[in-house]
Structure 1
Amino acid sequence: MSVQSAAADVDVDLRQLFASLARNWLRIVVVVLVVTGLAFAFASLATRHYKAETQVEIAPRESVYTRPASNNNDTDKPILDEQGVATQVQIISSNEILKQVAQKLGLEKLPEFDEALDMSPLSRALVLVGLKSDPMEIPTEERVLKKMHEKLNVYGVEKTRIIAIEFSSEDPKLAAAIPDAIAAAYIAGQGAAKLESNNAAADFLAPEIADLQQQVKTAEAKVAAYRSQSDLLMGGNNSVLATQQLSELSSELSKVRANRAAAEATADGVRRALQNGGSLDAVPEVLSSDLIQRLRERQVELRSNIADLSTTLLGNHPRIRALKSQLADLDAQIRSEAQKIMKGLLMQAETAKARENQLVADVNTLKAASAQAGEQQVDLDALQRDATAKRQQLELYLTNYREAASRQDRNYLPVDARIASKASVPSEAYFPKVGPIVGAAFAASLLIMAIVTLLRELFSGRAMRPATGSRFERIDEVAMPHVAQAPDRVAMPAVRAEPAIPQDSVVRQEMGDRLAEAEAELHTATMPYRAEATDRGAMPDAATTEQTVAEPEPVRSTLGEIDIEKAAEKLIASGAARAIFVSPEGDEAAASAILVAREVADAGLRVLLLDLTASGAASRPMLDSGLFPGITNLLASEAQFSDVIHADLYSDCHVIPVGTADPVRAMRAADRLPIIMQSLTTAYDLVVVECGPADAQGIGRLAGDATEVFLSMLEPDDEVTQAAVRLIENGYPDLTLVTPLGHEPPGNPVPGRRTAAA
């Protein structure tokens, strides 16, 4: 039967659940007050611890007037990044600094830092028996450092370059003195490290400077000697003289070539003009001649006179002919002068060509000299660079050495850290805080007790109620049809001292384990088991029941009568987990359930008999006499499984009697009966239920998987027949008749069976 199917039939009664807090208020209050009192006593008697804090700022302390010139441009750069601050945190909490502080303040003489100085008798006893390590085996210095590390907390303040040093101690003055001493030791250590670095730099630079001075002198001497040997004369612009001369001759050669080309071109133009009879006005050199300019003016004047006379005289007139003759002479003179100019240009071109040839020869000579001078210049430049580099290094070393020597002489080495805030002596202990501890203990104990009370109420099942619309909703349909008719019982007397499940048997020990699991399942009210009937024994709904009663359908039955042995063999062969006995004839017929249960138990199976009769007829013969807690106590949450399960005095069978609780109260929790049945079938191989004169609706909650229904019969009268017919018509066609006739009474011991007294 699945757990999920049963969960739909049961709900949590929140009103009943939270009402348990009011019912158990006294217990809750007592526990809360006890826990709160213990917390107050602990907070009041505990050793007071005080905590103080010193803050160290990591920042440059160098003055702008004393800062080296090379660092003047680095003022905007942070002195340390996040990793750098974390490194300083580790340095502050290092053993070296803590050793200095411990020696300075004499912490090894204080019992707070060396437990070996004042060991309690309990600690000495634990050391003697080997349950605690002997502190004397550890060196004193190591013990003190370990204790200081436990009390010390060094951390960097987020998004700042502030390092906080926290220390806790039983002495408030010591709690303030130790972090201040740690900060002072850290700053002193940083100053010592700077002094050591400065001295090391000065010691290194002094011999290096002397060596560099000699190297610079040698390098510069090599430069001068090489320059004199190579005859490298320097001209303007710091260049070799040969190179400078080559540059000048190249410029002059270019000019000569240009002049020669211009003269040749002009002479060629004049020659073509003279040969072709063209005009000489387009030649600049001809036009620039003063003589030609005067001849041109005279020529213009004669042409003007000829034009004036031509208006009055004929062309053959002597005067006109004379003027024309003069004009022709002027043209001849102009051409003659142009030829002279042409010859001059040719002479100029020849002179330029001769100069060009001479310059080309000089340039070629200077090229060879310049190439040789370039090679020599390369060697000279190499020597010059070496000398320059050594001189620059010497100047740098001299500057650094002077700075280091001056700081060493003046003892001026500012540390890049300062104490931003010194620790103040705390006036209030940080531990223990009486108010918060007592308040937390009160709230926690109250909450825990409330949760425990609610869980206990939930697991007991008292806070469970049938789900709306479930088939367990009606209280009058209980599976104990005759419990309500039982008279009010008196208070339960003293229960037997012997246990319900003897511990001298391996089988019974295993039974106890199973019952413990069954108890847990029953208390887990959120996982109930629905007592759904199988196809043979399912209890119909109310509507279905009414319909069945109104219109019964014929059911075929395999009804047969068997004896006790056959009934036991049938249960063993079928592997049934539940056997429900109905006794229409009353208490006398209940003997069948007892005998069958004992018979199956003798076969080696784990068997339990559940007595649901009103008079306890099925459990009295098995328990001899007396009142014992039973099923009503379990339903009323007055007992647990281990309290209501008892051993049969005459067999290995177990029995749950009716019990001593109020039947009316037990009926209110009747919806838990299917859960109880499921738990019992989990712990036992077979659960035999004696219901007395019950009907089909009464046994519906008890039926489940692998259930056999028996009808106990003493005599085959009409009452038995009618009860059998009703059961068959209401869904139990496999009903079996069993008779106890021919067997010994259930209260007599059977030879070979162990009694409970054993």
Structure 2
Amino acid sequence: MHAPMQDRIDADINEIDLARLGRVLLVKKWWVLGPTLAAFLVSFLFVNLVKPRYTSDARLLLENQDSFYARVDNGERVDANGPDAEGVQSQIQLLTSRDLARRAIKKIGLQGDVEFDPLANGVGPVTRLMALVGLVRDPTLMPPEERILEKFSERLSVLSPTKTRVLSIEFTSYNPDLAARGANAVAEAYIEMQQEAKREIARSAAQSLATLISDLRTRVAEAEAKVEKYRAETGLLIGSNNTIVPTQQLGELNNQLSSARAAHADSQAKASLLRDMLRQNRIAEIPDIASNESLRRIFEQIVALRAQLALESRTLLPMHPRIKELDAQLADLERQWRAAAERAAHTLENEARIAAARVENLTRVLNDQKRVAGAAGAEEVKLRDLERAARLLKEQLESETAKYQEAVARERVKATPADARIIQRALAPQVPSFPKKVPIVLFATLAGLILSLGVIVAGELLTGRARVLPPALSAAQPAPAAVAPDRREPIFARQESDAPKDKEPPKKASWRATPVVARRISPARAIEGCVKVLVAPCSETGPRAETAVSLARQLAGQGRALLAAADPGAAMFDALVSPGSERRPCGMGELARGSAGYGDAIHRDKSSTLHVLPGGVADGAGMGDHALLVTALAHAYDYLIFAASADEALRLAPHVDLAFVLGEDEAAEALREDLAEIGVEAHLLDASACGDLAA
């Protein structure tokens, strides 16, 4: 682990001795109680000796007060609720303005009041001296409202509750009645200012509108005169349907032409139908023939003769004179019948020819009228422009006249509605707003207690007497963090059996982690996501490799751990994953060449939950990018233990957190120093401890 990690681990281990702090506070209790009692007495005297102040508040509701009948509907949308958030803040600025304060001061009559008027008790010598040298203005030369204005503004505050259009006007004074009168006076002065502002706006609007209306009347008269003059010059007189005469005549001719065409078509159809019926000898079915009284009598005679002829034919022969007479009479009646039908057909044909002539005549007249109407079209366009201009001026005149009448009405009405109303008038308060005795005494006492406790605790922390180290360090040195830990302290210590030696044979020593392991590896695990440990030199089987295995198996009980042979081709961990097998397991060598993945190169320890990455088969391949390998493994494990030779340890050192050098000779010390120069935290583990741990 690097030097910054060492500092973080030391800061994490050093704890505060709460028991010692409690004893120190008990010893120095009077240093705590004294300031606390003093704060209590001072605050108690303050709240009882200071002159109380009273605060009264009046409330205004901002809303549109225009009545429905007084408002002119000009198409504009009026917000009946009142202003938005920005408008509320603007009204607050108006309530705290100097002009409104002067009105309120005059309304209350604060001139000569001892609380607000500096000249109520006369001008003191200090004030005269400061006015003489020009530091302050001479109060005697100032208007009464100006003298009182500063003190009045300090006692006035205007607030608006969140998401409301309500303004709370608060006024503070030593006199509760004066506090109520001050708040009410400010609210009333605000309403009066708004009413005056509206009347002034109406007065200015009426003056400007009067001039505009006079000008508009002249322009409207001129525009209407131009319209009438142009209509008279061009002859574009208005007819009954509010249209010009040529256009109206054109419409009438078009209607007559349509009627004539309909009549011609009707007559022509009837004549054609009558001719067809005559050819088919269906004269009796012709509507005009059937409805004619004379023809109907002829038809009745024909029917009677036919009946008589049939009766006479029963007794007489066809050549009988009576039969011939009857036949002659019947033929004469049929000729009359057919002649009447022919005359009706000729009549209908004549009507069709007359209708056709009328259609032709109307068509010629309509074409002539079209030319007349077309000639008048351009002149009518110009006439419409003149009429439109006159109409717009007239509408503008009517609109401005309505506004003028409204402005005049608002100017003359004294009770002009303001855009606010008083919803709560101020009353004389019964309880002072300052001082609040119980809260002030309580907070002052607590502040004295907390400050005195903080001073004592801070002193103990700054001197270091309130911090304590773990027992392993406190037994070795009296002051924590005063001496650096011994780099040669063994990591594993022998733990003998508790049984007496003369009663049972000695057992093999079991190994436990010394406090250095807990002080180095466990805090590093709390800080880092994965702790990377290097054990070197460890390039062959034996006690050194077994030391790395023992350390890795202990860490596997605390989290996910991986024991890796950093040297490709090293056989030190083959027996852990494939005992008794002659075939070398896949490992670091294949991973370095890229012939195997992480899932193929990592194996499970047969005796524990430890994962093992053996050396594999090197075939001359060396390690590639150590950073990529260590980063990939750190995402999957909590602890990474690399067993490496001295050369491989120096290449791997920049990527690990802790390094344990096995041995106590000069070569081991030199390796530890080389690792420390690289920046890794390195410790020595003596060889005797390695042998016992392996056993």
Contact 1:51 1:166 (8 Å CA) reproduced: yes
Change (3 A) 1:213 1:277: closer
Contact 2:489 2:684 (8 Å CA) reproduced: no
Q: What is the TM-score when the length of structure 1 is the normalising length?
A: 0.54
Residue of structure 2 in register with 1:136 after alignment: 135
Residue of structure 2 in register with 1:442 after alignment: 445
Q: Partners in 2 of 1:220 and 1:71 — Cα distance?
A: 25
Aligned match of 1:205 in 209, 223, 231?
209
Change (3 A) 1:97 1:409: closer
Deviations 1:194-236 (A, max 9, x none): 2321221222233333333333333333333333333334332
Aligned match of 1:296 in 277, 296, 299?
299
Contact 1:58 1:162 (8 Å CA) reproduced: yes
The one-letter amino acid paired with 2:267 is A
Question: How far is 1:401 from its partner?
Answer: 3.5
Contact 2:53 2:432 (8 Å CA) reproduced: yes
Q: Partners in 1 of 2:215 and 2:9 — Cα distance?
A: 100
Q: Secondary structure at the match of 2:346?
A: helix
Aligned match of 2:228 in 201, 224, 227?
224
Change (3 A) 1:103 1:258: closer
Residue of structure 2 in register with 1:285 after alignment: 288
Question: How far is 1:347 from its partner?
Answer: 1.8
Q: How does 1:298-377 map to 2 (within 5 A)?
A: 298-309=301-312, 319-377=322-380
Q: Partners in 2 of 1:160 and 1:377 — Cα distance?
A: 60
Residue of structure 2 in register with 1:648 after alignment: none
The one-letter amino acid paired with 1:209 is I
The one-letter amino acid paired with 1:347 is N
The one-letter amino acid paired with 1:228 is A
Deviations 1:543-596 (A, max 9, x none): 59999x975999xxxxxxxxxxxxxxxxxxxxxxxxxxxxxxxxxxxxxxxxxx
Q: How does 1:72-91 map to 2 (within 5 A)?
A: 77-91=80-94
Q: How does 1:491-502 map to 2 (within 5 A)?
A: none
Change (3 A) 1:239 1:21: same
Aligned match of 2:183 in 168, 179, 182?
179
Residue of structure 2 in register with 1:265 after alignment: 269
Q: Partners in 1 of 2:196 and 2:9 — Cα distance?
A: 81
Contact 2:36 2:448 (8 Å CA) reproduced: yes
Change (3 A) 1:153 1:729: same
Question: How far is 1:258 from its partner?
Answer: 1.9
Residue of structure 1 in register with 2:542 after alignment: none
Change (3 A) 1:175 1:232: same
- Does 2:260 align with 1:244? no
The one-letter amino acid paired with 2:351 is Q
Q: Partners in 2 of 1:272 and 1:278 — Cα distance?
A: 9
User: Percent sequence identity over matched residues?
Assistant: 31
Q: Partners in 1 of 2:364 and 2:411 — Cα distance?
A: 69
Change (3 A) 1:87 1:311: farther
Greater CA drift, 326-335 or 339-348: 326-335
Q: Partners in 2 of 1:316 and 1:173 — Cα distance?
A: 148
Contact 1:266 1:283 (8 Å CA) reproduced: no
Q: Partners in 1 of 2:104 and 2:396 — Cα distance?
A: 44
Q: Partners in 2 of 1:402 and 1:228 — Cα distance?
A: 37
The one-letter amino acid paired with 1:434 is K
Q: How does 1:617-636 map to 2 (within 5 A)?
A: none
The one-letter amino acid paired with 1:214 is T
Question: How far is 1:436 from its partner?
Answer: 0.7
Give unpaired runs (5+ residues) of structure 2.
510-680
Contact 1:309 1:320 (8 Å CA) reproduced: yes
Q: Secondary structure at the match of 1:236?
A: coil
The one-letter amino acid paired with 2:85 is E
Greater CA drift, 416-425 or 136-145: 136-145
Q: Secondary structure at the match of 1:237?
A: coil
Residue of structure 2 in register with 1:650 after alignment: none
Aligned match of 1:384 in 350, 368, 387?
387
Contact 2:118 2:147 (8 Å CA) reproduced: yes
Change (3 A) 1:457 1:292: same
Q: Secondary structure at the match of 1:235?
A: coil
- Does 2:161 align with 1:162? no
Q: Partners in 1 of 2:239 and 2:420 — Cα distance?
A: 59
Contact 2:305 2:326 (8 Å CA) reproduced: yes
Residue of structure 2 in register with 1:254 after alignment: 258
Change (3 A) 1:77 1:418: closer
- Does 2:47 align with 1:43? yes
Change (3 A) 1:177 1:77: closer
Change (3 A) 1:51 1:361: same
Q: Partners in 2 of 1:158 and 1:9 — Cα distance?
A: 50
Q: Partners in 2 of 1:453 and 1:80 — Cα distance?
A: 56
Q: Partners in 2 of 1:72 and 1:729 — Cα distance?
A: 103
Change (3 A) 1:270 1:59: closer
The one-letter amino acid paired with 2:93 is Q
Residue of structure 1 in register with 2:561 after alignment: none
Greater CA drift, 77-86 or 455-464: 455-464
Q: Partners in 1 of 2:281 and 2:334 — Cα distance?
A: 12
- Does 2:55 align with 1:55? no
Contact 1:153 1:165 (8 Å CA) reproduced: yes
Residue of structure 1 in register with 2:100 after alignment: 97
Question: How far is 1:188 from its partner?
Answer: 3.1
Q: How does 1:602-621 map to 2 (within 5 A)?
A: none
Residue of structure 2 in register with 1:716 after alignment: none
Change (3 A) 1:158 1:329: same
Residue of structure 2 in register with 1:414 after alignment: 417
The one-letter amino acid paired with 1:231 is G
The one-letter amino acid paired with 1:92 is L
Q: How does 1:542-561 map to 2 (within 5 A)?
A: none
Q: Partners in 2 of 1:272 and 1:538 — Cα distance?
A: 138
Contact 1:12 1:465 (8 Å CA) reproduced: no
Q: Secondary structure at the match of 2:433?
A: coil
Contact 2:171 2:183 (8 Å CA) reproduced: yes
The one-letter amino acid paired with 2:246 is A
Contact 2:110 2:117 (8 Å CA) reproduced: no
Q: What is the TM-score when the length of structure 2 is the normalising length?
A: 0.58
Task: Give the aligned CA root-mean-square deviation in angstroms.
Answer: 5.3
Q: Secondary structure at the match of 2:283?
A: coil
Question: How far is 1:89 from its partner?
Answer: 1.4
Greater CA drift, 328-337 or 393-402: 393-402
- Does 2:56 align with 1:34? no
Contact 1:55 1:422 (8 Å CA) reproduced: yes
Change (3 A) 1:329 1:730: closer
Question: How far is 1:17 from its partner?
Answer: 6.8
Q: Partners in 1 of 2:224 and 2:14 — Cα distance?
A: 109
Change (3 A) 1:221 1:456: closer
Q: Partners in 2 of 1:78 and 1:708 — Cα distance?
A: 85
Q: Partners in 2 of 1:551 and 1:135 — Cα distance?
A: 103
Q: Paired residues, what number?
A: 503
Contact 1:3 1:530 (8 Å CA) reproduced: no
Q: Partners in 1 of 2:374 and 2:171 — Cα distance?
A: 80
Question: How far is 1:356 from its partner?
Answer: 2.2
Choose 1 or 2 for highest CA Rg.
1
